Amino acid sequence: MLKKLSIFIVAGILVGCTNIDNLGGKKDSGPIREIGGEPQIPGETKIVEDVPTDDGKVVNKEANNENIKEYLSIVKENLKGSVKKVEDSVENNYTVGLGETLVFPLDNERAIKLTASPKNTNTKINLSNGKVSFRSVYQGQYVLSTYVDGSLNRKIAIAVIAKYDFSEREVYDVIMQNFESKSKDLENAVTLYKMMFPTGRYAKEVNYLFLKYAYDIKNTSLMSEALAGVKNDFSSYSDSEKATILRVAKLTNKDIFVPSETYKTSDSELKSALQEYVGNKGSLDKNDKVFIEKTKKETPETANTVAREKVRAVLDETVLTKVGSTAGTSPKTVKNTTSKNETNGESYYDKAMKNLNSNPRVAIENFKKSLSTEKIQDKKPEIYYNIASSYAKLGNKVEVTKYLRLLKQEFPNSEWAKKSEVLTKLIK
């Protein structure tokens, strides 16, 4: 099973210094895939025994899936075994391998901070007993500044280098090949690319290919991870690519920033994806509301729009039944008229009903609370159904199935159990 790598933990830096996050600037594109601060390489990797400390020599290797996997296993072992490169002399320039910990002494300096680093990278730095430990899994040039009594004393340059001499173009070509074949090796190649070329010329394309791969294989975990790498470059992608990004955002229930000009698109694919994305949002901004009103007025309606409206009608507790069987026959709308709780104050049920259409998440929260407080037994099957329909609006099929099952088990003869059959068909 491939292991997901989450955001690399940035170590806190030193007494009297500014937080490292405020020094290197905002990290725009997604980090490499890491877990618990210690990167774990996706896929099954060959274990490299007796990993030596990197001597700084670069090995000539061809970029292919096997060699990429091999080098990732080396980096993994560096991290797992806390491989250290210890320097005894005070210098202004050091070199260390990817994933190795560099340890070096200071010259009576009491504080140190990171003042320069490649974009889209993180580091782990610590000062203890006059010695600095530094580690990064991202290739590039780093600068540490030391201080004495609050004043800058000197700057230390650290070069983090990869042991294998893969070129950026070679790794990118491997990614493309794996993408076309839908190979899981793509995850390895993307991970290594982000390590070796955090500011690479193909970074934007690589981030999108990873997202499209995750979307194509329907891996929600990978989709969520990949979204972090593309969302800040949203405007620079094509209309078709934007549509895919929006679909991923919808499937993962993530809100991303969509520029106002996107709402003015004439591209049918992008417009359709935008409709689905906006319809899934918990709260709408001004652009969302204007877009919804605009699309409502547009004619003629497409088949997809009609279908979506039909689903929405059912989820909004409106049952659509066809009159006649001829094509083009208009549906007849029958509203549910179930009464609300009659209490002196606003009940959880009342709060839920207020948010049933506008904010499904809030509706779910209050419906669940009402289950334990509702004294009218006949109202509970309706509440079960409303919870299921609210989850359906959020695209959570697991919870929909769960609450429909509870409804049928506890109230098999209720009208809501019968009505649930329609909802069951809609989510398949």
b/e burial code for range 233-256 (CB count within 10 A of at least 16 → b): bbeebeeebbbbbbbbbbbbeeeb
**Is there a contact between 65 and 168 (Cβ–Cβ < 8 Å)?**
no
b/e burial code for range 392-408 (CB count within 10 A of at least 16 → b): bbbebeeebeebbebbb
Residue 136 scores a pLDDT above 60: yes
CA–CA separation, 245 and 262 (whole Å)? 13
Mean pLDDT, residues 174-194: 94
The CATH number for 368's domain is 1.25.40
CA–CA separation, 378 and 356 (whole Å)? 19
**Is there a contact between 394 and 361 (Cβ–Cβ < 8 Å)?**
yes
Q: Which of 272, 298, 324 is the last residue of a domain?
A: 298
**Is 208 found in the same domain as 145?**
no
Identify each DSSP E strand in 66-139 by its residue range.
84-86, 93-97, 101-105, 111-116, 124-128, 131-135
**Is 109 found in the same domain as 28?**
yes
**Is 149 found in the same domain as 28?**
yes
> Is residue 321 one of the residues assigned to a domain?
no
Mean model confidence pLDDT for the chain: 77
**Is there a contact between 188 and 175 (Cβ–Cβ < 8 Å)?**
no
**Is 125 found in the same domain as 58?**
yes
Lowest mean pLDDT among 133-137, 158-162, 358-362: 358-362
User: What domain range includes position 230?
Assistant: 202-298
> Is residue 79 one of the residues assigned to a domain?
yes
> Is residue 27 one of the residues assigned to a domain?
yes
Give the residue, 72 or 54, on which the prediction is more confident: 72
Count of domains observed in the chain:
3
CA–CA separation, 96 and 135 (whole Å)? 8
Residue 276 scores a pLDDT above 70: yes
Burial of residue 326 (CB within 10 Å: 0-12, 13-18, 19+) is exposed
Residue 253 scores a pLDDT above 80: yes
Residue whose tokens read 């690399």: 8
How do beta strands 93-97 and 151-161 pair? Answer: parallel
The CATH number for 33's domain is 2.60.40.1080
Q: In what order do the strands lie in the sheet with 151-161?
A: 93-97, 151-161, 140-148, 111-116
The pLDDT score that the predictor gives to residue 13 is 25
> Is residue 333 one of the residues assigned to a domain?
no
**Is 221 found in the same domain as 144?**
no
Angle at 213 between CA 123 and CA 43, to 5 degrees: 60
pLDDT level of residue 297 (50, 70, 90 thresholds): low
The pLDDT score that the predictor gives to residue 169 is 94
Burial of residue 291 (CB within 10 Å: 0-12, 13-18, 19+) is buried
Task: Give the three-state DSSP class for 38.
Answer: strand
**Is 209 found in the same domain as 149?**
no
Ranked by mean pLDDT, the top range of 10-24, 31-45, 63-77, 364-378 is: 63-77
CA–CA separation, 62 and 1 (whole Å)? 26
Residue whose tokens read 């004439």: 266
Return phi, psi of residue 146, to 5°: -105, 155
**Is 292 found in the same domain as 392?**
no
**Is 290 found in the same domain as 206?**
yes
- The 10s digit of each residue's pLDDT in 361-406 is 999 988 888 887 776 777 888 998 999 888 888 888 888 888 888 8
> Is residue 166 one of the residues assigned to a domain?
no
The pLDDT score that the predictor gives to residue 379 is 83
> Is residue 305 one of the residues assigned to a domain?
no
Which among 223, 183, 180, 159 has a CA at the least distance from the CA of 68? 183
For the beta carbon of residue 173, count every other beta carbon within 10 angstroms. 15
Residue 255 scores a pLDDT above 90: no
Q: What percent of the chain has pLDDT over 70?
A: 74
